[in-house]
């Protein structure tokens, strides 16, 4: 009878009770990673203050990095909360899941392109005998 109840629930909500249980258990880990992200963003924010004094452009980059850490951590926290509620909110979970991975992929592409540009610039400078 338990299997029948699970099948009925899966047909109604699109997700089985086992999947809900696993997501609920995993939500604590997602929240922990989100909290660590907020802490890391705070440290980057503090580092940006010192960086402004030495290298202002670096300070701006650190501020941007702190903002990205904060935003991604916020999305993770929202995913964790959507999965841990007594009534699983699949719509909220899916929305934050999509935003998190879209932002992560865009950032990966941007960082990849920037690393290529930096590599070509550094290689050109080394090839011409210039030093940093």
Q: Please tell me the predicted confidence (pLDDT) of residue 1.
A: 47
Residue 132 has pLDDT above 60, yes or no: no
pLDDT score recorded for residue 131 = 62
Rounded Cα–Cα distance for residues 86 and 74 (Å): 21
Spell out the alpha helix ranges (H) of 1-132: 2-13, 17-54, 56-84, 90-127
Q: Is the dihedral of CA 110, 111, 113, 117 positive or negative?
A: positive
What is the predicted pLDDT for the residue at 128?
76
For residues 74 and 31, give the distance between their C-alpha atoms in angstroms, rounded to a whole number. Answer: 9
Q: Would the CA dihedral through 19, 20, 24, 25 be positive or negative?
A: negative
Q: Residue 90: what pLDDT?
A: 82
More confident residue, 92 or 122: 92
User: Which phi-psi region, left, alpha or beta, contains residue 88 (left: φ > 0; alpha: ψ -120 to 50)?
Assistant: beta
**What mean pLDDT is predicted for residues 104-117?**
91
pLDDT tens-digit profile of 24-75? 888 889 999 999 999 999 999 999 998 889 889 888 999 999 999 999 999 9
> What pLDDT score does 122 carry?
77
Phi, psi of 16 (to 5 degrees): -80, 165
Reference 74, options 44, 108, 33, 110; nearest CA is 33
pLDDT digits (tens, 9 = 90+) for 3-28: 555 555 555 567 777 888 888 888 88
Q: Where are the domains of the chain?
A: 14-127
């Amino acid at each position: 009878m338990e299997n029948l109840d699970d099948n009925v629930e899966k047909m109604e909500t699109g997700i089985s009770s086992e999947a809900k249980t696993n997501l609920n258990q995993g939500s604590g880990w997602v929240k922990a990673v989100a909290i660590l992200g907020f802490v890391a963003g705070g440290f980057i924010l503090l580092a940006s203050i010192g960086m402004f004094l030495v290298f202002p452009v670096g300070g701006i980059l650190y501020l941007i990095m702190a903002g990205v850490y904060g935003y991604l951590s916020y999305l993770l926290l929202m995913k964790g909360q959507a999965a841990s509620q007594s009534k699983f909110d699949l719509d909220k979970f899916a929305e934050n899941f999509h935003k998190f991975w879209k932002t992560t992929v865009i950032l990966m592409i941007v960082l990849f392109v920037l690393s290529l540009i930096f590599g070509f610039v550094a290689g050109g400078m080394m090839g011409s005998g210039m030093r940093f």
